[in-house]
Structure 1
Protein backbone atom coordinates (compact mmCIF):
# COMPACT_ATOMS: atom_id res chain seq x y z
CA UNK A 1 0.00 0.00 0.00
CA UNK A 2 1.50 3.40 -1.00
CA UNK A 3 2.50 5.86 1.68
CA UNK A 4 0.03 8.74 2.16
CA UNK A 5 1.03 12.09 0.67
CA UNK A 6 2.20 14.93 2.88
CA UNK A 7 -1.12 16.70 2.26
CA UNK A 8 -3.03 13.60 3.36
CA UNK A 9 -0.98 13.38 6.56
CA UNK A 10 -1.56 17.06 7.31
CA UNK A 11 -5.31 16.77 6.72
CA UNK A 12 -5.52 13.62 8.83
CA UNK A 13 -4.04 15.55 11.75
CA UNK A 14 -6.38 18.46 11.01
CA UNK A 15 -9.40 16.14 11.04
CA UNK A 16 -8.40 14.78 14.45
CA UNK A 17 -8.01 18.31 15.83
CA UNK A 18 -11.30 19.41 14.34
CA UNK A 19 -13.19 16.51 15.90
CA UNK A 20 -11.50 17.21 19.25
CA UNK A 21 -12.32 20.92 19.05
CA UNK A 22 -15.92 20.07 18.22
CA UNK A 23 -16.16 17.87 21.31
CA UNK A 24 -14.60 20.60 23.46
CA UNK A 25 -17.06 23.21 22.19
CA UNK A 26 -19.95 21.13 23.53
CA UNK A 27 -19.01 22.55 26.94
CA UNK A 28 -20.46 25.89 25.77
CA UNK A 29 -24.08 26.04 26.87
CA UNK A 30 -25.29 28.94 24.71
CA UNK A 31 -26.17 27.55 21.27
CA UNK A 32 -25.43 30.77 19.35
CA UNK A 33 -22.01 31.10 20.97
CA UNK A 34 -21.32 27.43 20.32
CA UNK A 35 -22.15 27.92 16.64
CA UNK A 36 -19.92 30.99 16.41
CA UNK A 37 -16.96 29.08 17.83
CA UNK A 38 -17.45 26.19 15.41
CA UNK A 39 -17.77 28.50 12.43
CA UNK A 40 -14.54 30.20 13.51
CA UNK A 41 -12.72 26.87 13.76
CA UNK A 42 -13.69 25.95 10.20
CA UNK A 43 -12.82 29.42 8.90
CA UNK A 44 -9.30 29.28 10.36
CA UNK A 45 -8.80 25.84 8.84
CA UNK A 46 -9.94 26.93 5.38
CA UNK A 47 -7.77 30.04 5.30
CA UNK A 48 -4.69 27.81 5.25
CA UNK A 49 -5.71 26.19 1.96
CA UNK A 50 -7.30 29.01 -0.04
CA UNK A 51 -5.31 30.57 -2.88
CA UNK A 52 -4.02 34.12 -2.37
CA UNK A 53 -6.41 35.34 -5.05
CA UNK A 54 -9.35 35.14 -2.62
CA UNK A 55 -10.20 36.01 0.97
CA UNK A 56 -12.49 34.31 3.49
CA UNK A 57 -14.53 35.88 6.27
CA UNK A 58 -17.08 34.83 8.85
CA UNK A 59 -20.55 36.25 9.44
CA UNK A 60 -21.52 38.48 6.53
CA UNK A 61 -24.44 39.90 4.58
CA UNK A 62 -24.40 40.08 0.80
CA UNK A 63 -26.21 42.77 -1.16
CA UNK A 64 -26.92 43.46 -4.83
CA UNK A 65 -27.25 46.71 -6.76
CA UNK A 66 -31.02 46.20 -7.18
CA UNK A 67 -31.51 46.17 -3.39
CA UNK A 68 -31.59 42.46 -2.57
CA UNK A 69 -30.07 41.39 0.75
CA UNK A 70 -29.04 37.86 1.66
CA UNK A 71 -29.52 36.26 5.01
CA UNK A 72 -26.48 36.03 7.27
CA UNK A 73 -23.84 33.78 5.74
CA UNK A 74 -21.58 31.72 8.00
CA UNK A 75 -18.47 31.80 5.78
CA UNK A 76 -18.04 33.82 2.59
CA UNK A 77 -15.18 33.61 0.08
CA UNK A 78 -14.70 36.81 -1.91
CA UNK A 79 -12.36 38.79 -4.14
CA UNK A 80 -9.69 40.83 -2.29
CA UNK A 81 -10.73 43.92 -4.28
CA UNK A 82 -14.20 43.92 -2.68
CA UNK A 83 -14.86 47.38 -1.14
CA UNK A 84 -15.49 47.50 2.61
CA UNK A 85 -19.14 48.58 2.45
CA UNK A 86 -19.32 47.74 6.14
CA UNK A 87 -16.90 45.97 8.44
CA UNK A 88 -17.11 45.96 12.21
CA UNK A 89 -16.28 43.38 14.86
CA UNK A 90 -15.73 40.74 12.18
CA UNK A 91 -19.11 41.34 10.47
CA UNK A 92 -19.10 42.41 6.82
CA UNK A 93 -21.47 43.60 4.12
CA UNK A 94 -20.22 42.60 0.67
CA UNK A 95 -21.48 43.22 -2.88
CA UNK A 96 -22.60 40.05 -4.64
CA UNK A 97 -20.33 40.80 -7.61
CA UNK A 98 -17.25 40.16 -5.46
CA UNK A 99 -18.49 36.91 -3.88
CA UNK A 100 -17.19 33.58 -5.17
CA UNK A 101 -18.50 31.12 -2.61
CA UNK A 102 -20.46 30.63 0.61
CA UNK A 103 -20.34 27.85 3.19
CA UNK A 104 -23.16 27.15 5.61
CA UNK A 105 -21.85 25.58 8.83
CA UNK A 106 -24.02 23.23 10.90
CA UNK A 107 -23.32 21.61 14.25
CA UNK A 108 -25.65 18.75 13.28
CA UNK A 109 -27.12 18.41 9.82
CA UNK A 110 -30.71 17.20 9.82
CA UNK A 111 -33.21 16.98 6.97
CA UNK A 112 -34.78 20.24 8.17
CA UNK A 113 -31.41 22.01 8.35
CA UNK A 114 -30.50 20.72 4.89
CA UNK A 115 -33.76 22.13 3.50
CA UNK A 116 -32.92 25.53 4.98
CA UNK A 117 -29.50 25.42 3.33
CA UNK A 118 -31.00 24.42 -0.02
CA UNK A 119 -33.29 27.45 0.07
CA UNK A 120 -30.78 30.00 1.38
CA UNK A 121 -28.03 29.00 -1.06
CA UNK A 122 -30.48 29.05 -3.98
CA UNK A 123 -31.67 32.56 -3.04
CA UNK A 124 -28.10 33.81 -2.86
CA UNK A 125 -27.14 32.22 -6.18
CA UNK A 126 -30.11 34.00 -7.82
CA UNK A 127 -28.85 37.44 -6.78
CA UNK A 128 -27.75 39.29 -9.94
CA UNK A 129 -24.11 40.14 -10.63
CA UNK A 130 -24.34 43.24 -12.83
CA UNK A 131 -21.97 45.94 -11.56
CA UNK A 132 -18.73 45.59 -13.50
CA UNK A 133 -16.79 47.92 -15.74
CA UNK A 134 -16.88 46.88 -19.37
CA UNK A 135 -13.60 45.75 -20.84
CA UNK A 136 -12.63 45.04 -24.46
CA UNK A 137 -11.66 41.47 -23.58
CA UNK A 138 -13.35 39.50 -20.83
CA UNK A 139 -12.83 35.98 -19.56
CA UNK A 140 -15.67 33.56 -20.24
CA UNK A 141 -16.77 30.88 -17.75
CA UNK A 142 -18.99 28.04 -18.93
CA UNK A 143 -20.52 26.09 -16.07
CA UNK A 144 -23.94 24.74 -15.02
CA UNK A 145 -24.89 24.76 -18.72
CA UNK A 146 -24.60 28.57 -18.75
CA UNK A 147 -22.07 31.12 -19.96
CA UNK A 148 -20.85 33.82 -17.58
CA UNK A 149 -19.24 36.76 -19.38
CA UNK A 150 -16.57 38.46 -17.27
CA UNK A 151 -17.25 36.84 -13.90
CA UNK A 152 -17.69 33.56 -12.04
CA UNK A 153 -20.92 32.39 -10.38
CA UNK A 154 -21.30 31.85 -6.64
CA UNK A 155 -20.57 28.32 -5.43
CA UNK A 156 -22.52 27.05 -2.43
CA UNK A 157 -21.43 24.44 0.12
CA UNK A 158 -22.53 22.99 3.45
CA UNK A 159 -20.18 21.73 6.17
CA UNK A 160 -21.44 19.94 9.29
CA UNK A 161 -19.69 18.50 12.32
CA UNK A 162 -22.31 15.75 12.70
CA UNK A 163 -25.47 14.51 10.99
CA UNK A 164 -28.12 11.88 10.78
CA UNK A 165 -27.82 9.05 8.26
CA UNK A 166 -26.80 10.63 4.95
CA UNK A 167 -28.22 7.84 2.81
CA UNK A 168 -31.62 8.19 4.46
CA UNK A 169 -31.64 11.98 4.01
CA UNK A 170 -30.51 11.71 0.39
CA UNK A 171 -33.98 10.67 -0.86
CA UNK A 172 -35.53 13.96 0.18
CA UNK A 173 -32.45 15.85 -1.00
CA UNK A 174 -32.73 14.36 -4.50
CA UNK A 175 -36.44 15.18 -4.70
CA UNK A 176 -35.67 18.82 -3.96
CA UNK A 177 -32.74 18.93 -6.37
CA UNK A 178 -34.93 17.80 -9.25
CA UNK A 179 -36.95 21.01 -8.82
CA UNK A 180 -33.87 23.25 -8.99
CA UNK A 181 -31.92 24.62 -11.95
CA UNK A 182 -28.31 23.40 -11.93
CA UNK A 183 -26.90 26.85 -11.16
CA UNK A 184 -29.00 27.16 -7.97
CA UNK A 185 -28.01 23.83 -6.44
CA UNK A 186 -25.71 23.11 -3.51
CA UNK A 187 -22.36 22.10 -4.98
CA UNK A 188 -21.24 19.83 -2.12
CA UNK A 189 -22.11 18.79 1.43
CA UNK A 190 -19.43 17.51 3.83
CA UNK A 191 -20.08 16.01 7.27
CA UNK A 192 -17.09 15.35 9.50
CA UNK A 193 -16.82 11.65 10.31
CA UNK A 194 -20.00 10.76 8.39
CA UNK A 195 -19.47 11.40 4.68
CA UNK A 196 -20.48 13.71 1.87
CA UNK A 197 -22.89 14.56 -0.91
CA UNK A 198 -20.97 15.35 -4.07
CA UNK A 199 -21.55 14.95 -7.81
CA UNK A 200 -20.36 12.17 -10.09
CA UNK A 201 -20.56 10.90 -13.63
CA UNK A 202 -22.30 7.51 -13.23
CA UNK A 203 -20.54 6.05 -16.28
CA UNK A 204 -17.01 6.98 -15.28
CA UNK A 205 -17.48 7.05 -11.48
CA UNK A 206 -15.36 10.17 -11.20
CA UNK A 207 -16.10 13.10 -8.89
CA UNK A 208 -17.20 16.50 -10.14
CA UNK A 209 -16.76 19.69 -8.17
CA UNK A 210 -20.14 21.25 -8.94
CA UNK A 211 -23.63 20.36 -10.08
CA UNK A 212 -24.27 19.85 -13.80
CA UNK A 213 -26.68 18.17 -16.18
CA UNK A 214 -26.34 14.38 -16.35
CA UNK A 215 -24.53 14.01 -13.04
CA UNK A 216 -25.76 11.83 -10.17
CA UNK A 217 -25.55 12.51 -6.46
CA UNK A 218 -22.75 10.54 -4.80
CA UNK A 219 -23.30 9.64 -1.13
CA UNK A 220 -19.80 8.77 0.05
CA UNK A 221 -18.35 7.50 3.30
CA UNK A 222 -15.29 9.38 4.56
CA UNK A 223 -11.82 7.99 4.00
CA UNK A 224 -10.73 6.92 7.47
CA UNK A 225 -7.57 9.00 7.82
CA UNK A 226 -8.32 12.33 6.13
CA UNK A 227 -12.07 12.18 6.71
CA UNK A 228 -13.96 14.55 4.34
CA UNK A 229 -11.28 17.23 4.49
CA UNK A 230 -9.30 16.12 1.43
CA UNK A 231 -12.34 16.32 -0.83
CA UNK A 232 -13.37 19.65 0.70
CA UNK A 233 -9.92 21.24 0.36
CA UNK A 234 -9.42 20.07 -3.22
CA UNK A 235 -12.90 21.16 -4.29
CA UNK A 236 -12.88 24.63 -2.74
CA UNK A 237 -9.24 25.37 -3.58
CA UNK A 238 -9.69 24.36 -7.23
CA UNK A 239 -12.91 26.29 -7.77
CA UNK A 240 -11.60 29.39 -6.03
CA UNK A 241 -8.33 29.30 -8.01
CA UNK A 242 -10.37 29.55 -11.19
CA UNK A 243 -12.82 32.19 -9.98
CA UNK A 244 -12.49 35.67 -11.41
CA UNK A 245 -14.32 38.93 -12.03
CA UNK A 246 -14.08 42.05 -14.17
CA UNK A 247 -13.26 45.28 -12.28
CA UNK A 248 -16.07 46.00 -9.83
CA UNK A 249 -18.15 49.14 -10.42
CA UNK A 250 -19.58 50.60 -7.20
CA UNK A 251 -21.56 53.37 -8.95
CA UNK A 252 -24.80 51.37 -9.55
CA UNK A 253 -25.07 50.85 -5.78
CA UNK A 254 -25.51 54.63 -5.41
CA UNK A 255 -27.59 55.20 -8.56
CA UNK A 256 -30.50 56.82 -6.70
CA UNK A 257 -28.42 58.89 -4.28
CA UNK A 258 -27.65 62.60 -4.86
CA UNK A 259 -23.96 63.34 -5.33
CA UNK A 260 -24.24 66.97 -4.15
CA UNK A 261 -26.70 69.58 -2.99
CA UNK A 262 -26.77 73.22 -4.11
CA UNK A 263 -23.63 73.21 -6.25
CA UNK A 264 -22.54 76.49 -7.89
CA UNK A 265 -21.08 76.00 -11.34
CA UNK A 266 -18.14 78.24 -12.28
CA UNK A 267 -15.84 78.36 -15.22
CA UNK A 268 -14.87 77.48 -17.80
CA UNK A 269 -11.50 76.23 -16.61
CA UNK A 270 -10.11 74.98 -19.89
CA UNK A 271 -6.35 75.03 -20.33
CA UNK A 272 -4.96 78.21 -21.83
CA UNK A 273 -1.31 78.23 -22.86
CA UNK A 274 -1.23 82.05 -22.92
CA UNK A 275 -3.84 83.41 -20.50
CA UNK A 276 -5.30 86.79 -21.46
CA UNK A 277 -4.16 89.82 -19.49
Structure 2
Protein backbone atom coordinates (compact mmCIF):
# COMPACT_ATOMS: atom_id res chain seq x y z
CA UNK A 1 0.00 0.00 0.00
CA UNK A 2 1.33 3.42 -0.96
CA UNK A 3 1.99 5.65 2.05
CA UNK A 4 0.79 9.25 2.00
CA UNK A 5 3.09 12.15 2.83
CA UNK A 6 1.24 12.70 6.10
CA UNK A 7 1.63 9.02 7.00
CA UNK A 8 5.38 9.16 6.34
CA UNK A 9 5.64 12.31 8.42
CA UNK A 10 3.88 10.60 11.34
CA UNK A 11 6.24 7.63 11.02
CA UNK A 12 9.25 9.93 11.34
CA UNK A 13 7.60 11.89 14.19
CA UNK A 14 7.08 8.69 16.16
CA UNK A 15 10.77 7.91 15.90
CA UNK A 16 11.56 11.35 17.33
CA UNK A 17 9.02 11.04 20.17
CA UNK A 18 10.22 7.58 21.16
CA UNK A 19 13.84 8.74 21.00
CA UNK A 20 13.03 11.63 23.36
CA UNK A 21 11.29 9.16 25.66
CA UNK A 22 14.38 6.95 25.70
CA UNK A 23 16.59 9.91 26.58
CA UNK A 24 14.26 10.80 29.46
CA UNK A 25 15.01 7.43 31.11
CA UNK A 26 18.35 8.94 32.15
CA UNK A 27 16.41 10.98 34.71
CA UNK A 28 16.00 8.86 37.84
CA UNK A 29 13.58 11.14 39.73
CA UNK A 30 10.07 9.84 38.97
CA UNK A 31 8.17 13.12 39.34
CA UNK A 32 10.66 15.03 37.17
CA UNK A 33 10.71 12.17 34.67
CA UNK A 34 6.93 12.29 34.36
CA UNK A 35 6.93 16.06 33.86
CA UNK A 36 9.54 15.79 31.10
CA UNK A 37 7.52 13.15 29.26
CA UNK A 38 4.35 15.22 29.54
CA UNK A 39 6.20 18.21 28.12
CA UNK A 40 7.47 16.18 25.15
CA UNK A 41 3.88 15.48 24.10
CA UNK A 42 2.66 19.01 24.84
CA UNK A 43 5.47 20.54 22.78
CA UNK A 44 4.67 18.20 19.89
CA UNK A 45 0.99 19.18 19.98
CA UNK A 46 1.81 22.90 20.15
CA UNK A 47 3.90 22.58 17.00
CA UNK A 48 1.35 20.58 15.01
CA UNK A 49 -2.09 21.86 15.97
CA UNK A 50 -3.68 25.07 14.60
CA UNK A 51 -2.59 28.37 16.15
CA UNK A 52 -6.10 28.93 17.51
CA UNK A 53 -5.34 26.43 20.33
CA UNK A 54 -3.56 26.77 23.67
CA UNK A 55 -2.05 23.60 25.16
CA UNK A 56 -2.17 24.02 28.94
CA UNK A 57 -2.43 22.06 32.19
CA UNK A 58 -4.78 22.58 35.10
CA UNK A 59 -8.33 22.10 36.28
CA UNK A 60 -11.49 22.78 34.28
CA UNK A 61 -14.39 24.65 35.90
CA UNK A 62 -17.98 25.41 34.94
CA UNK A 63 -20.39 28.19 35.91
CA UNK A 64 -22.06 25.90 38.49
CA UNK A 65 -18.88 25.67 40.55
CA UNK A 66 -17.86 22.19 39.43
CA UNK A 67 -14.14 21.36 39.18
CA UNK A 68 -12.38 18.53 37.40
CA UNK A 69 -9.35 16.76 38.74
CA UNK A 70 -5.94 17.97 37.51
CA UNK A 71 -5.51 17.46 33.75
CA UNK A 72 -2.11 16.68 32.19
CA UNK A 73 -2.94 18.57 28.99
CA UNK A 74 -5.99 20.56 27.91
CA UNK A 75 -6.60 21.94 24.42
CA UNK A 76 -8.28 25.33 24.81
CA UNK A 77 -9.52 27.83 22.23
CA UNK A 78 -7.33 30.94 22.29
CA UNK A 79 -10.43 33.16 22.16
CA UNK A 80 -11.40 31.72 25.55
CA UNK A 81 -10.28 33.66 28.65
CA UNK A 82 -8.14 31.80 31.19
CA UNK A 83 -7.31 32.11 34.87
CA UNK A 84 -3.54 31.47 34.86
CA UNK A 85 -1.38 30.95 37.95
CA UNK A 86 2.37 31.32 38.40
CA UNK A 87 2.67 27.57 38.92
CA UNK A 88 1.99 27.07 35.20
CA UNK A 89 -1.39 25.49 35.89
CA UNK A 90 -4.60 27.21 34.86
CA UNK A 91 -8.22 27.24 35.92
CA UNK A 92 -9.92 26.67 32.58
CA UNK A 93 -13.47 27.55 31.58
CA UNK A 94 -15.20 24.45 30.24
CA UNK A 95 -16.76 26.32 27.30
CA UNK A 96 -13.33 26.88 25.74
CA UNK A 97 -12.12 23.30 26.12
CA UNK A 98 -11.81 21.05 23.08
CA UNK A 99 -10.02 18.06 24.56
CA UNK A 100 -8.35 16.67 27.64
CA UNK A 101 -5.30 14.43 27.39
CA UNK A 102 -3.83 12.17 30.04
CA UNK A 103 -0.15 11.43 29.30
CA UNK A 104 1.33 8.28 30.83
CA UNK A 105 4.71 6.60 30.56
CA UNK A 106 2.95 3.27 31.04
CA UNK A 107 -0.70 2.32 30.81
CA UNK A 108 -2.17 -0.74 32.50
CA UNK A 109 -5.47 -1.70 34.13
CA UNK A 110 -4.82 0.12 37.42
CA UNK A 111 -3.65 3.33 35.72
CA UNK A 112 -6.63 3.18 33.37
CA UNK A 113 -8.99 2.95 36.35
CA UNK A 114 -7.43 6.06 37.89
CA UNK A 115 -7.75 7.95 34.61
CA UNK A 116 -11.38 6.83 34.37
CA UNK A 117 -12.27 8.65 37.59
CA UNK A 118 -10.57 11.74 36.17
CA UNK A 119 -12.57 11.52 32.93
CA UNK A 120 -15.78 11.23 34.94
CA UNK A 121 -15.14 14.66 36.48
CA UNK A 122 -14.79 16.11 32.96
CA UNK A 123 -18.07 14.54 31.84
CA UNK A 124 -19.85 15.98 34.90
CA UNK A 125 -19.19 19.56 33.78
CA UNK A 126 -22.17 21.65 32.69
CA UNK A 127 -21.30 24.17 29.96
CA UNK A 128 -23.36 27.35 29.89
CA UNK A 129 -23.66 27.30 26.09
CA UNK A 130 -26.29 24.58 25.79
CA UNK A 131 -27.18 25.62 22.27
CA UNK A 132 -23.73 24.82 20.90
CA UNK A 133 -24.45 21.28 19.78
CA UNK A 134 -24.26 21.23 16.00
CA UNK A 135 -22.15 18.54 14.46
CA UNK A 136 -19.16 18.70 12.16
CA UNK A 137 -19.69 18.18 8.42
CA UNK A 138 -17.06 15.41 8.13
CA UNK A 139 -17.65 13.41 11.30
CA UNK A 140 -20.49 13.45 13.80
CA UNK A 141 -18.66 15.01 16.74
CA UNK A 142 -20.74 17.62 18.56
CA UNK A 143 -18.94 20.80 19.55
CA UNK A 144 -20.69 20.73 22.92
CA UNK A 145 -18.64 17.61 23.84
CA UNK A 146 -15.12 17.50 25.25
CA UNK A 147 -12.93 14.89 23.61
CA UNK A 148 -11.23 12.73 26.24
CA UNK A 149 -8.04 10.91 25.31
CA UNK A 150 -4.98 9.14 26.67
CA UNK A 151 -1.48 9.09 25.20
CA UNK A 152 0.96 6.49 26.46
CA UNK A 153 4.52 5.67 25.50
CA UNK A 154 4.25 2.04 26.57
CA UNK A 155 0.88 0.49 27.35
CA UNK A 156 -0.32 -3.03 27.91
CA UNK A 157 -1.40 -4.93 24.80
CA UNK A 158 -4.35 -3.48 22.92
CA UNK A 159 -6.49 -6.52 23.78
CA UNK A 160 -5.61 -6.20 27.49
CA UNK A 161 -6.63 -2.54 27.50
CA UNK A 162 -9.89 -3.30 25.70
CA UNK A 163 -10.75 -5.84 28.40
CA UNK A 164 -9.81 -3.42 31.19
CA UNK A 165 -12.03 -0.71 29.72
CA UNK A 166 -15.10 -2.94 30.01
CA UNK A 167 -14.79 -2.69 33.81
CA UNK A 168 -15.17 1.10 33.69
CA UNK A 169 -18.43 2.99 33.94
CA UNK A 170 -19.58 4.51 30.65
CA UNK A 171 -18.81 8.01 31.97
CA UNK A 172 -15.20 6.94 32.60
CA UNK A 173 -14.33 5.54 29.17
CA UNK A 174 -11.99 7.65 26.98
CA UNK A 175 -12.83 8.48 23.39
CA UNK A 176 -9.27 7.73 22.25
CA UNK A 177 -6.22 5.85 23.52
CA UNK A 178 -3.03 6.43 21.54
CA UNK A 179 -0.12 4.10 22.29
CA UNK A 180 2.99 5.44 20.55
CA UNK A 181 4.29 1.90 20.17
CA UNK A 182 1.16 -0.13 19.49
CA UNK A 183 -1.56 1.95 17.83
CA UNK A 184 -4.87 3.66 18.48
CA UNK A 185 -8.17 2.71 20.09
CA UNK A 186 -11.20 4.72 18.93
CA UNK A 187 -14.48 4.56 20.86
CA UNK A 188 -17.00 2.83 18.60
CA UNK A 189 -19.74 5.43 19.11
CA UNK A 190 -19.80 6.63 15.50
CA UNK A 191 -18.78 10.18 16.36
CA UNK A 192 -15.20 10.06 15.07
CA UNK A 193 -15.27 7.13 12.64
CA UNK A 194 -18.03 5.10 11.04
CA UNK A 195 -19.32 2.60 13.55
CA UNK A 196 -17.91 -0.90 13.26
CA UNK A 197 -20.56 -3.58 12.94
CA UNK A 198 -18.64 -6.20 14.92
CA UNK A 199 -20.08 -4.99 18.28
CA UNK A 200 -16.61 -4.13 19.56
CA UNK A 201 -16.59 -1.24 22.05
CA UNK A 202 -13.42 0.19 20.48
CA UNK A 203 -12.06 0.20 16.94
CA UNK A 204 -8.41 -0.90 16.86
CA UNK A 205 -5.81 0.75 14.63
CA UNK A 206 -2.79 -1.52 15.00
CA UNK A 207 -0.27 0.71 13.15
CA UNK A 208 1.00 3.43 15.52
CA UNK A 209 1.92 5.75 12.63
CA UNK A 210 -1.62 5.56 11.27
CA UNK A 211 -2.89 5.96 14.82
CA UNK A 212 -0.94 9.20 15.26
CA UNK A 213 -2.14 10.43 11.88
CA UNK A 214 -5.81 9.81 12.78
CA UNK A 215 -5.37 11.27 16.27
CA UNK A 216 -3.97 14.54 14.91
CA UNK A 217 -6.67 14.66 12.25
CA UNK A 218 -9.47 14.31 14.81
CA UNK A 219 -8.00 17.12 16.94
CA UNK A 220 -7.56 19.43 13.94
CA UNK A 221 -11.11 18.82 12.69
CA UNK A 222 -12.61 19.50 16.12
CA UNK A 223 -10.48 22.62 16.64
CA UNK A 224 -11.36 24.07 13.25
CA UNK A 225 -15.08 23.57 13.77
CA UNK A 226 -15.09 25.01 17.29
CA UNK A 227 -13.51 28.27 16.17
CA UNK A 228 -16.94 29.80 15.50
CA UNK A 229 -18.62 28.60 18.71
CA UNK A 230 -20.51 31.26 20.66
CA UNK A 231 -20.05 31.18 24.44
CA UNK A 232 -22.30 32.68 27.15
CA UNK A 233 -19.64 34.15 29.44
CA UNK A 234 -22.14 36.05 31.61
CA UNK A 235 -23.21 32.73 33.09
CA UNK A 236 -20.10 33.06 35.29
CA UNK A 237 -21.44 36.22 36.93
CA UNK A 238 -23.77 34.31 39.27
TM, length-normalised to structure 2: 0.84
Which of the residues 183, 206, 213 maps onto 1:230? Answer: 213
Note the residue ranges of structure 1 that are not aligned, 5 or more in a row.
202-206, 256-277
1:220 match: 205
1:198 match: 186
Secondary structure class of the residue paired with 1:78: strand
Please give the alpha-carbon distance, in whole angstroms, between the structure 2 residues aligned to 1:219 and 1:127.
29
Larger Rg belongs to: 1
1:23 match: 22
Please give the alpha-carbon distance, in whole angstroms, between the structure 2 residues aligned to 1:142 and 1:193.
32
Q: Is 1:247 matched up with 2:235?
A: no
State the shift of 1:211 in Å: 10
- Work out whether residues 55 and 80 of structure 1, in 8 Å CA contact, stay in contact via their aligned partners in 2: yes
Aligned pairs for 1:69-80 (under 5 A) are 69-80=67-78
Please give the alpha-carbon distance, in whole angstroms, between the structure 1 residues aligned to 2:44 and 2:69.
24
- Work out whether residues 100 and 146 of structure 2, in 8 Å CA contact, stay in contact via their aligned partners in 1: yes
State the shift of 1:83 in Å: 1.5
Please give the alpha-carbon distance, in whole angstroms, between the structure 2 residues aligned to 1:193 and 1:227.
11
Secondary structure class of the residue paired with 1:37: helix
What's the Cα RMSD here? 2.9
Note the residue ranges of structure 2 that are not aligned, 5 or more in a row.
none
Please give the alpha-carbon distance, in whole angstroms, between the structure 2 residues aligned to 1:147 and 1:236.
11
Secondary structure class of the residue paired with 2:90: strand
The number of equivalent residue pairs is: 232
Which of the residues 128, 153, 161 maps onto 1:169? Answer: 161
Please give the alpha-carbon distance, in whole angstroms, between the structure 1 residues aligned to 2:151 and 2:124.
21
